[in-house]
């Protein structure tokens, strides 16, 4: 299709060039004979005779007018006298007008010069347009080769109405008002998210537009389509549909209350304590489903406050599965590529790059502490001993001043027992040593007061990397691939 379009463009350029040559050539030819006649009137006459319609004049030149009869005196008769005093009157010979058409052997230098200039201009125009079209074709070919091809086996649920459906690009473009800036909800490293409205289902959606220049963004798109479409849980953001017709687009259920990080760190609205505790329980429920209740274990690898979405009732749902990987429950899997967000990545991941359930639990613990304290995991504006949230809370715990780290915006309006248990669970999950962290199920049991909280050391221990080699190896099963071609 692209080759046909390029061929058509070249043909149009060639026809345009021929048209310009013929038009200008005819005009220069018709005007080149006139400059040889100095008089304007004669030039007009020459141009008239040069007109093809009037060329019959050249074929049949007008005969000279008849000569008037000899003039004799009225009183005399014609005489054949050869009297030198009265010579006979001889009519003047007809004057031949100048030929407006120069002989074939003579070339008009001005006409030749005009033709050469026009030919050079037309040739330059053709070569220039041809070069531009060639660059356009080469760029499209190069971009097509740069986009990796994926081949993902999409389950039957994609076609039977039980899961996400495929959208056309026009549908999602229309839903977001052609991706208008006023509909933009946010922007990440691999694309922007827009608010949209589907008229056929009368529902609002959040449309993620993956950047076409990001190979990592393409991989994340494949991961989300592959993983989140296979799982359904009340505390996971629902994938409504997908599209890779002209761009990579993902449509999720719209979460009116936005993300957790906005309310904790950016917004002016206060999240009451009961809602905060419920958010922690919702997040733990989602992680339990991913780690233990599915056919395969899912490592999210990017649990953080900005990936926790809130609906209109402030029910929490975990989203953004772009970095997620499928894991075999028994054998496990492994990856050597470090992924995640600074401040939420477990210490052992910085050393080995290996993801595990324990690294997800660590990220969960960081979010728990952020919810309780109302601050980010890393805050450079604080003193050195307060910059790290985990170190700061652990120090307060060792000094038996644990409640001093509670978010001041709560104004002491919280349940003391729930707050203590929540802070202890956060420290337990964010333990520097992987082997000392609980499973998500054990953390839930403490949050539900089914078992007592853990007995943690009063001083924050240093990371123990010796337990990494003895831990079971985890092998990450990379998502399959999706055959896509993205136009640039």
Annotated binding-site members for ATP: 208
Please tell me whether residue 202 adopts helix, strand or coil conformation.
coil
Residues 320, 302: Cα–Cα separation, whole Å: 8
Q: Pick from 483, 482, 481, 474: which is nearest to 296 by CA? A: 474
Helix, strand, coil percent content, the chain, rounded in steps of 5: 45, 10, 45
Residue 436 neighbours by CB under 8 Å, 6+ apart: 461, 464
Q: Residue 284, class by beta-carbon neighbours within 10 Å (0-12 exposed, 13-18 middle, 19+ buried)?
A: buried
Beta pairing class for 239-243 and 165-166: parallel
Q: Reduced to 3 states, what is the DSSP secondary structure of residue 196?
A: strand
Match 């990371």 to its residue by tokens. Answer: 463
For 125-140, the DSSP string reads HHHHHHHHHHHHHHHH
Annotated binding residues, written as ranges, equal 208
Q: 208 with 252: CB under 8 angstroms?
A: yes
Instruction: Identify any residues that bridge with 195 across adjacent strands, giving them in sequence order.
Output: 206
CA distance 275 to 271: 6
> Which residue in the list 302, 320, 360, 407 is annotated as catalytic?
302
The count of other CB atoms within 10 Å of the CB of residue 292 is 13
Is 413 in the active site? no
Termini Cα distance of the chain: 15
Output the furthest CA–CA distance in the chain (Å, rounded): 161
> What is residue 22's three-state secondary structure?
helix
CA distance 227 to 322: 9
Element (H, E) at 483: none
Quote the distance between the C-alpha of residue 261 and its chain's center.
26
CA dist 230 and 239 (Å) reads 10
Catalytic residue positions, numbered: 302
């Amino acid at each position: 299709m692209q080759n046909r379009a390029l061929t058509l463009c070249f043909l149009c350029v060639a026809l345009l060039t021929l048209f310009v040559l013929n038009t200008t050539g005819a005009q220069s030819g018709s005007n080149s004979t006139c400059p040889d006649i100095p008089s304007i009137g004669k030039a007009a006459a020459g141009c008239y005779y040069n007109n093809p319609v009037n060329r019959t004049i050249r074929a049949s030149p007008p005969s000279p007018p008849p000569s008037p009869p000899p003039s004799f005196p009225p009183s005399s008769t014609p005489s054949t006298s050869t009297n030198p005093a009265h010579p006979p009157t001889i009519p003047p010979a007809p004057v031949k007008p100048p030929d407006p058409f120069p002989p074939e052997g003579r070339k008009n230098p001005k006409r030749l010069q005009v033709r050469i200039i026009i030919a050079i201009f037309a040739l330059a125009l053709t070569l220039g347009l041809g070069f531009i079209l060639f660059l356009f074709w080469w760029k499209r070919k190069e971009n097509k080769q740069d986009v990796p091809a994926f081949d993902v086996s999409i389950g039957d649920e994609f076609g039977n109405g039980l899961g996400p459906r495929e959208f056309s690009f026009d549908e999602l473009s229309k839903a977001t008002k052609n991706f208008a800036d006023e509909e933009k909800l946010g922007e990440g490293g691999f694309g922007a998210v827009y608010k949209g409205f589907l008229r056929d289902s009368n529902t609002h959606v959040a449309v993620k537009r993956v950047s076409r220049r990001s190979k990592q963004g393409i991989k994340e798109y494949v991961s989300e389509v592959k993983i989140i479409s296979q799982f359904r849980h009340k505390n996971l953001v629902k994938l409504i549909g997908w599209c890779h017709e002209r761009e990579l687009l993902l449509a999720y259920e719209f979460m009116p209350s936005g993300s957790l990080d906005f309310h904790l760190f950016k917004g002016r609205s206060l999240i009451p304590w009961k809602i905060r505790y419920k958010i922690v329980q919702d997040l733990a429920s989602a992680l339990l489903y991913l780690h233990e209740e599915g056919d395969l274990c899912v490592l999210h690898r990017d649990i953080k406050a900005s990936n926790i979405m809130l609906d209109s009732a402030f029910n929490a749902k975990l989203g953004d599965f772009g970095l997620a990987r499928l894991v075999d429950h028994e054998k496990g899997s492994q990856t050597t590529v470090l992924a995640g967000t600074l401040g939420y990545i477990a210490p052992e991941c910085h050393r080995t790059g290996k993801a595990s359930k324990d690294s997800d639990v660590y990220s969960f613990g960081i979010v728990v502490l952020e919810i309780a304290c109302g601050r980010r995991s890393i805050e450079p504006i604080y003193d050195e001993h307060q910059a790290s949230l985990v170190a700061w809370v652990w120090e307060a715990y060792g000094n038996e001043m644990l409640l001093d780290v509670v978010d001041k915006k709560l104004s002491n309006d919280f349940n003391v027992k729930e707050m203590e248990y929540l802070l202890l669970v956060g420290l337990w999950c964010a333990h520097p040593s992987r082997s000392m962290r609980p499973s998500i199920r054990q953390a839930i049991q403490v949050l539900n007061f089914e078992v007592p909280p853990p007995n943690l050391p009063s001083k924050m221990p240093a990371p123990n990397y010796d337990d990494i080699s003895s831990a079971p190896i985890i092998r990450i099963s990379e998502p399959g691939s999706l055959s896509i071609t993205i136009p640039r």
